[in-house]
């Protein structure tokens, strides 16, 4: 078989049906990742739960996704791509319906776990199916089209969830996704070729359990660290110790086992190893602005929800432009496309570092478009370069690790950014309030105080609120500075990627 031919020869109509079904499933899965974030207040009231308790619906969903994602390679080897993909979408659709029908917090958390675990193989397996179904010369275009689901799905999720919950209730935000899942499941069943007979492959239980424990402990630390004041809490200490021990056990076992759960030899491929680092940074830069901007604009800048939705929607517009541009930029050296994309991220980060609480909707929308364009331009050359020198038989396992690193990068950077915002806000609030004193002569000057007053309790309360707004802004600007620094670091890593030699085999 030539390098350009797809591994599974199919007709054009079947390929189109495969692409449509896969994209429907992937978009649905990526949409549900953040949809619950919009529904948390309503779910909290419906379940009579505390803020800490309702947060478990997010935490356990992320945990289930992180644990099952590395299993994709073993599942495909044991049961075949078609069975795993169709089964995952069927279970995912059922779990999504059950999330909407849940009557208690315990059942809602249980179905969110099933939803995350069932949908975890969808993203890595979708890209593998598309790569195998289309010839290599079309991979750039297919990656561009598919990559839109990775970026636009998380943008659609919060907006769709808010819209459905406002019109009906939070339950319909889940119910409305079920028909899409059923359509994807039927399309995959009809279009994917039957898997050849295969034997169930033995699962490396030591590797699987140790990696699952390490990922679970890390995710718990990241999800609950800020809420529990980090290492002031015994729980965070125990989870950190558990993560270190489990990771050591996984690495030691993988290096000494004949058939490890994840093949460490994949890291000997230089481009793939660098791709894992770069996709981790990509995950950090992709989701973090969507998590940080809404609370900043709503709580401190006074933006209504509708305007915040417009800012997020502008990011989707930019991503669409970026993916179309990537179809042409992808013909060049992948390092050029990635450098352009991460360079745009640097510009958007520097731009965000210059805003204040009087920022206009137009400026934020323009910045969101720039961020979306950057993400769209990065994804295609990043995926192409990471798997360009990796053998086809390693793609399912490689894709699983690739998307796992993207998810871990997102969780890590969001937690780091939120912790930094809280710390910097508290520090600056303390420093600025020290200046508010009857013994500070400068406060007697009208051009210093303006309309503020320290003579009455209401005046002090209004001044305290304004100081907190400004201190919070400094915290967010500090987080945007970390965002910019991560973009610069990624540009350095891009220079280490190797270009595939012409004529090299698959």
Q: Name the nearest CA neighbour of 408 among 254, 205, 232, 220.
A: 220
Q: What is the mean pLDDT of residues 218-245?
A: 84
- Tell me the range of 25-39, 100-114, 390-404 where mean pLDDT is highest: 100-114
Q: Which of 142-146, 150-154, 309-313 has the lowest mean pLDDT?
A: 150-154
Give pLDDT, residue 10: 61
pLDDT at 245 over 70: yes
Percent of the chain with pLDDT strictly greater than 90: 16
For the chain, give every domain's residue range: 1-197, 204-260, 263-506
The pLDDT-based confidence of 2 (bands split at 50, 70, 90) is very low
Name 383's Cβ contacts closer than 8 Å, sequence gap at least 6.
127, 143, 147, 275, 402
pLDDT at 143 over 70: yes
- Tell me the range of 12-16, 85-89, 291-295, 377-381 where mean pLDDT is highest: 85-89
Give pLDDT, residue 248: 92
Give pLDDT, residue 376: 83
Percent of the chain with pLDDT strictly greater than 70: 87
Q: What is the mean pLDDT of residues 97-103?
A: 89
Helices of type H across 296-333: 305-329
Q: What is the mean pLDDT of residues 471-487?
A: 93
Give the distance from CA 66 to its chain's centroid.
Answer: 12
d(CA 187, CA 484): 41
d(CA 348, CA 117): 34
**Helices first, then strands: H and E counts in the chain:** 19, 0
Helices of type H across 302-394: 305-329, 334-352, 361-387
Identical fold, 1-197 and 263-506: yes
The pLDDT-based confidence of 504 (bands split at 50, 70, 90) is very low
Give pLDDT, residue 51: 61
Segment 32-60, tens digit of pLDDT: 776 766 677 778 788 887 766 776 787 77
Q: What is the mean pLDDT of residues 263-275?
A: 84
The CATH code belonging to domain 1-197 is 1.20.1250.20
pLDDT at 506 over 50: no
- In the Cβ-directed half-sphere of 303, how many Cα atoms lie within 13 Å? 23
Q: What is the mean pLDDT of residues 160-185?
A: 82
Give pLDDT, residue 14: 82
CB 410 within 8 A of CB 284: yes
Give pLDDT, residue 502: 43
CB 453 within 8 A of CB 463: yes
Q: Name the nearest CA neighbour of 177 among 290, 51, 25.
A: 25
Given the structure tokens 């979306």, which residue do they identify? 372
d(CA 15, CA 7): 12
pLDDT at 9 over 70: no
Mean pLDDT for all residues in the chain: 81
Q: What is the mean pLDDT of residues 266-280?
A: 87
Q: What is the mean pLDDT of residues 296-311?
A: 78
Angle between helix 12-47 and 178-191 (nearest 10): 150
d(CA 61, CA 386): 27
Q: Beta-carbon neighbour count of residue 331 at 10 Å?
A: 10
DSSP per residue over 61-117, as a string?
A: HHHHHHHHGGGHHHHHHHH-HHHHHHHHHHHHHHHHHHHHH--SHHHHHHHHHHHHH
CB 174 within 8 A of CB 100: yes
Give pLDDT, residue 307: 77
Residue 443 CB-density burial (10 A; 0-12 exposed, 13-18 middle, 19+ buried)? middle
Helices of type H across 225-333: 234-256, 270-295, 305-329
Q: Which of 59-63, 98-102, 160-164, 327-331 has the lowest mean pLDDT?
A: 160-164
487 vs 67 pLDDT, higher one? 487
The CATH code belonging to domain 263-506 is 1.20.1250.20
Give pLDDT, residue 349: 93
Give pLDDT, residue 197: 67
Q: Which of 108-112, 166-170, 321-325, 418-422 has the lowest mean pLDDT?
A: 166-170
Give pLDDT, residue 345: 94
End-to-end CA gap in the chain: 10
Q: Which of 44-48, 148-152, 347-351 has the lowest mean pLDDT?
A: 148-152
Give pLDDT, residue 199: 64
d(CA 129, CA 496): 29
Q: Which of 3-17, 115-129, 478-492 has the lowest mean pLDDT?
A: 3-17
d(CA 12, CA 21): 14
Give pLDDT, residue 476: 92
pLDDT at 115 over 70: yes
Q: What is the mean pLDDT of residues 399-405?
A: 80
Q: Which of 138-142, 148-152, 483-487 has the lowest mean pLDDT?
A: 148-152
The pLDDT-based confidence of 241 (bands split at 50, 70, 90) is very high
Length of the chain equals 506
pLDDT at 484 over 90: yes
């Amino acid at each position: 078989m030539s390098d350009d031919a797809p591994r599974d020869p199919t007709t054009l109509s079947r390929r189109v049906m495969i692409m449509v079904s896969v994209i429907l499933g992937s978009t649905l899965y990526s949409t549900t990742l953040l949809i619950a974030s919009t529904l948390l207040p309503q779910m909290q009231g419906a379940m009579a739960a505390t803020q800490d308790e309702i947060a478990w619906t997010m935490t356990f969903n992320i945990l289930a996704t992180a644990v099952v994602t590395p299993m994709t390679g073993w599942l495909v080897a044991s049961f075949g791509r078609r069975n795993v993909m169709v089964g995952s979408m069927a279970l995912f659709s059922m779990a999504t319906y059950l999330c909407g029908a849940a009557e208690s917090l315990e059942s809602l958390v249980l179905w969110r776990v099933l939803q995350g675990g069932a949908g975890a193989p969808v993203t890595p397996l979708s890209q593998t199916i598309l790569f195998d179904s289309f010839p290599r010369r079309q991979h750039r275009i297919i990656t561009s089209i598919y990559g839109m689901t990775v970026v636009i799905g998380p943008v659609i999720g919060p907006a769709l969830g808010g819209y459905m919950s406002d019109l009906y209730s939070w339950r319909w935000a889940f119910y409305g996704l079920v028909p899409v899942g059923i359509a994807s499941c039927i399309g995959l069943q009809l279009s994917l070729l039957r898997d050849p007979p295969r034997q169930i492959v033995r699962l490396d239980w030591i590797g699987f359990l140790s990696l699952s424990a390490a990922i679970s402990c890390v995710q718990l630390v990241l999800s609950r660290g800020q809420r529990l004041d980090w290492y002031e809490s015994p729980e965070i200490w125990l989870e950190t110790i558990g993560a270190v021990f489990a990771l050591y056990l996984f690495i030691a076992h993988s290096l000494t086992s004949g058939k490890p759960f994840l093949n460490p030899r994949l890291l000997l491929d230089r481009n793939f190893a660098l791709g894992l680092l770069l996709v981790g940074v990509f995950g950090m830069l992709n989701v973090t602005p969507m998590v940080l901007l809404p609370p900043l604009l709503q709580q401190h800048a006074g933006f209504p929800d509708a305007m915040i939705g417009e800012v997020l929607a502008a990011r989707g517009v930019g991503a669409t432009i970026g993916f179309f541009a990537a179809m042409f930029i992808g013909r060049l050296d992948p390092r050029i496309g990635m450098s352009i994309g991460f360079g745009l991220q640097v510009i958007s980060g520097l731009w965000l570092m210059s805003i204040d609480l009087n920022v206009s909707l137009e400026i934020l929308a323009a910045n969101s478009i720039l961020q979306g364009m950057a993400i769209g331009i990065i994804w295609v050359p990043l995926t192409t370069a990471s798997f360009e020198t990796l053998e086809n038989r390693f793609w399912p396992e490689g894709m699983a690790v690739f998307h796992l690193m993207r998810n871990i990068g997102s969780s890590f950077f969001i937690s780091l950014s939120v912790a930094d915002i809280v710390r910097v806000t508290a520090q600056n609030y303390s420093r600025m309030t020290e200046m508010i004193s009857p013994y500070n002569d400068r406060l007697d000057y009208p051009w210093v105080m303006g309309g503020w007053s320290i003579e009455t309790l209401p005046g002090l309360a209004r001044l305290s609120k304004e100081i907190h707004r400004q201190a919070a802004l400094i915290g967010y600007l500090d987080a945007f500075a970390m965002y910019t620094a991560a973009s610069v670091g990624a540009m350095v890593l891009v220079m280490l990627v190797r270009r595939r030699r012409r004529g090299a085999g698959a």
